[in-house]
Amino acid sequence: MGRTDDKNVIVVGGGIGGLSAAVALRQQGFDVTVIERYPDLHSSVFGVGIIQPGNALRALDAIGCAEACVAVGYPAKQWGRMLDVNGDHLRDMPGVAIEGSKFPPLNGVTRPQLHEILTGRALAVGVQIHYGTSFAALEEGPESVTVVTESGERLTADVVVGADGVRSKVRQYVLGKEIEPKYIGQSAFRVNIPRLPEIDCIVLQVCDAGMAGFVPIGPDLAYMFYNAHFGVHERIPEDQLAPRLREYLAPFGGLTGRVRDEFITDDVDIVLRPEETMGVPTPWHKGRVVLMGDAVHTITPHLGQGAAQAIEDGVVLAEELAQNDRLDEAFARYTERRYERCKLIVDTSLNIGEWEMGRLPGFDNIGATNHVLEVMAQPL
């Protein structure tokens, strides 16, 4: 159904995946409008920093954004290293070089900077972005599909891309209302800290109770994370986040101990988010509507691949829409290229979380990470 010479696309969601798809589609000659429920480009940015593995940089390069990310971020010479509870070296994780790539195995950047780069690129190539515009419903006809906004506005297009995240409202029009993400039993503490000299890549420090990690996201900035085992209904008041995090970090010496003592103060700005997972079976499309990013593969943060996979989705979707004569063929090819790759990330990230919570004894998290990096280095 439908021909891909239909050129008008609406992307629902102006996050990392939605903006990446919009740029990629515009570069292929489509007229693209993004609708974003938040009022401006910064209000939809949550969290602190973001990991950009080599495959993310390759995809960002395809939409003209990689060099800008590396320029403002922290390009690391290797993926990471692991330390024991006292801070002594255990293992190196060099990462996997992507053949022909000029980019590092890892770049760290703040989320606001990434959002500014993607937004600037989208506007530069001619994407229309409508802020403060909330999706309400879809009405699909034989020759077009209409997005109805909460204000009653009607926007008609040839294709609608659902890039509206974990709580996607577009998803039900493709997959029904039953599919929802699942909380895994962990929540992630994250906090920005000064980049100490030893934080020159991802640094993981382990103890029997859990694992702390550090990611450089700028010349002078890094963030620390700690994945804590939380009951599904457990909540921590904001004024208790720092004391609770210090309790979790109490066993550590070395780097984590220093950060705990110097930077985890009662007035520090700590972000705490539940970790959820969801791998949606195919198809990811129905009629003129197709899904991408967190709407179909919600990835826990253990491999730093959530944003990378959303960016890759956008690049591949645009390629297939440009190369195939029929929408159903383009959508099927897009899903075929993306499904197993995303499933590997969803499953391995979940396994690392299970291992951290003591539910997967004997699991080799470093080996699993290296395997993922090797697969991600392969062509899209």
- Per-residue pLDDT, 47: 67
CA 231, 235, 240, 243: dihedral to nearest 10 degrees? 10
Is residue 174 situated within a structural domain?
A: yes
Q: Is the dihedral of CA 66, 164, 192, 106 positive or negative?
A: negative
Digitized pLDDT (tens) for each residue of the chain, 380 residues in all: 565 566 899 999 999 999 999 999 999 999 999 999 999 887 666 668 999 999 999 999 999 999 999 999 999 999 999 999 999 999 999 998 898 999 999 999 999 999 999 999 999 999 999 999 999 999 999 899 999 999 999 999 999 999 999 999 999 999 999 999 999 999 999 999 999 999 999 999 999 888 999 999 999 999 999 999 988 888 899 999 999 999 999 999 999 999 999 999 999 999 999 999 999 999 999 999 999 999 999 999 999 999 999 999 999 999 999 999 899 999 999 999 999 999 999 999 999 999 999 999 999 998 999 999 999 999 99
What's the rounded Cα separation, in Å, for the pair 192 and 197?
15
Is there a single domain that holds both residue 163 and residue 282? yes
Is there a single domain that holds both residue 14 and residue 140? yes
- Per-residue pLDDT, 67: 98
- Per-residue pLDDT, 1: 53
Last residue of a domain, one of 275, 302, 325: 275
Is there a single domain that holds both residue 358 and residue 233? no
What single string gives the DSSP state of each residue in 278-337?
EEPPSP-EETTEEE-GGGTEE--GGGS-HHHHHHHHHHHHHHHHHH-SBHHHHHHHHHHH
What single string gives the DSSP state of each residue in 132-200?
S--EEEEEE-SS-EEEEETTS-EEEESEEEE---TT-SSHHHHH-S----EEEEEEEEEEEEE--TT-S
Is there a single domain that holds both residue 21 and residue 112? yes
Is there a single domain that holds both residue 175 and residue 55? yes
Specify the amino acid at residue 268: V
What single string gives the DSSP state of each residue in 86-122?
TS-EEEEE---PPTT--S-SEEEEEHHHHHHHHHHHH
- Residue 216 lies in domain: 186-275
pTM of the predicted model, to two decimals?
A: 0.96
